[in-house]
Amino acid sequence: MAAPRRPANLVAAACVLPVTDVDRSIEHYRALGFEVAKLTDEYAMAQRGDTALHLSLMPELDPLKGAGCVYLYVDDADGLAQEWVEAGVGRTVAPVDTDYGLREGAHVDPDNNLLRFGADIAG
């Protein structure tokens, strides 16, 4: 009888965000400080530090009915918000302190994908 197999370790994850225009999304995420690589006409990858976002073409997407959401843990929520406001793309909501110990803000891209971000208040 074979020994039970140990569960595989998960080593990383990437959020896949639906977009209606890959080239527009590439420029948007580049303006936010991501390194972006277009892999095909329908797919791109945006990387910033250890965080990867995948951008997948969905021409039928209705951004008012369905979009993506990702939570980004950061070391400086106020600094990131300021950087993204200065980039002049999308809509960035200033961070606020939460009662659960995080300082959180948000950013919405052209396809209504929500990027929530937060940093430990104590840190």
pLDDT confidence of residue 43:
98
The mean pLDDT of 41-69, rounded to a whole number, is 92
5 occurs within a structural domain: no
> Would you say 103 and 97 are in contact if contact means Cβ atoms under 8 Å apart?
yes
The mean pLDDT of 104-112, rounded to a whole number, is 97
8 occurs within a structural domain: no
pLDDT of residue 32 exceeding 90, the answer is: yes
The radius of gyration of the chain's CA atoms, rounded to the nearest angstrom, is 17
Domain that holds residue 25: 15-59+66-120
Domain count, the chain: 1
- Where does the pLDDT of residue 53 fall: very low under 50, low under 70, confident under 90, or very high at 90 and above? very high
Torsion angle of C-alpha atoms 32, 14, 115, 33, degrees rounded to 10? -10
3 occurs within a structural domain: no
| 34 token code pair | 């991501």
Q: Residue 92: which CATH number?
A: 3.10.180.10
Task: Select, from the ranges 8-17, 66-75, 81-90, the one with the highest average predicted confidence (pLDDT).
Answer: 81-90
- Where does the pLDDT of residue 2 fall: very low under 50, low under 70, confident under 90, or very high at 90 and above? confident
Q: pTM to 2 decimals? A: 0.90
